[in-house]
Amino acid sequence: MAMKLYTYFRSSAAFRVRIALNLKGIAYEAAPVHLLKGEQNEPRYMQHNPQGLVPALEDGEQLILQSGAIIEYLEETHPAPPLLPTDAAGRARVRALSQLIACEIHPLNNLRTLKYLRKHLGQDDDGINAWYRHWVADGLGKFERSLAETAGTAAFCHGDAPGMADCHLVPQIFNAQRYQCDLAPFPITMGVFGRCVALEAFRKAEPSQQPDAN
């Protein structure tokens, strides 16, 4: 039975998992959850994901939540091609780069955070955009320094094959572009991004290629 991915075309967390599935050549069924209509909070979906977030992955009886945990699950159940290096220090580096995106940038800029700023803290579009761009610049500045100053960076974030850090990076850059963030200060990061999006596995995972894209 094919795996089922609860996803939303614009969700960068779901985008990470779509890339990982494609890189590993795993066929899956996409089950769209419309975040702007609030479907993530409906009981119908909450029974699949009590956290009320996408993505969630169903693999037979197993339900796996949180994009990082899902990617690690795929890595353990479908080891080839690997998305993590063979050495412990390399794996720690790739996880640190991934978490820099998933923990330090993304939560500050996701849908419910932005909605809260607008609804409860009275921010308008200008305020929201300033907040968004600030945290992208801060986080990507740290990402760029990590790529520049820690060993392992090559064609991709770590080595010459795409891996877990690239799965995290590319969706974050798509989001940053959508919010017209200035990406010129991050040439190493954008070089990696360019090499990723030249690959079919990344292109097929893009928001515009999803069945629920509108």
Ligand X SMILES: N[C@@H](CCC(=O)N[C@@H](CS)C(=O)NCC(=O)O)C(=O)O
CB of 102 to ligand X, least distance (A): 5
Which of 146, 123, 3 lies closest to 62 in space, CA to CA?
A: 3
Q: Which residues bind ligand X (CB under 6 A)?
A: 11-13, 35, 40, 53-55, 66-68, 102, 110-112
Written as six digits, the tokens of 176 are 């940053």
Q: Find the shortest distance in angstroms from Cβ 154 to ligand X.
A: 26
**Residue number, 36 or 148, with CB nearest to ligand X:** 36
Toward ligand X, which CB reaches closer, 121 or 148?
Answer: 121
Provide the minimum distance between the beta carbon of 115 and ligand X in the complex, in angstroms, as a whole number.
Answer: 7
DSSP bridge pairs for 30: 5
How many CB atoms within 10 Å of residue 57?
27
Which one, 153 or 172, has the nearer CB to ligand X?
172
β-strand partners of 59: 62
Q: Which residue stretches of the chain are H helix?
A: 12-23, 43-46, 67-77, 88-99, 106-109, 111-119, 125-149, 164-178, 187-197, 200-203
- Pick the closer one to ligand X by CB: 53 or 196: 53
Minimum Å gap between C-beta 67 and ligand X is 3
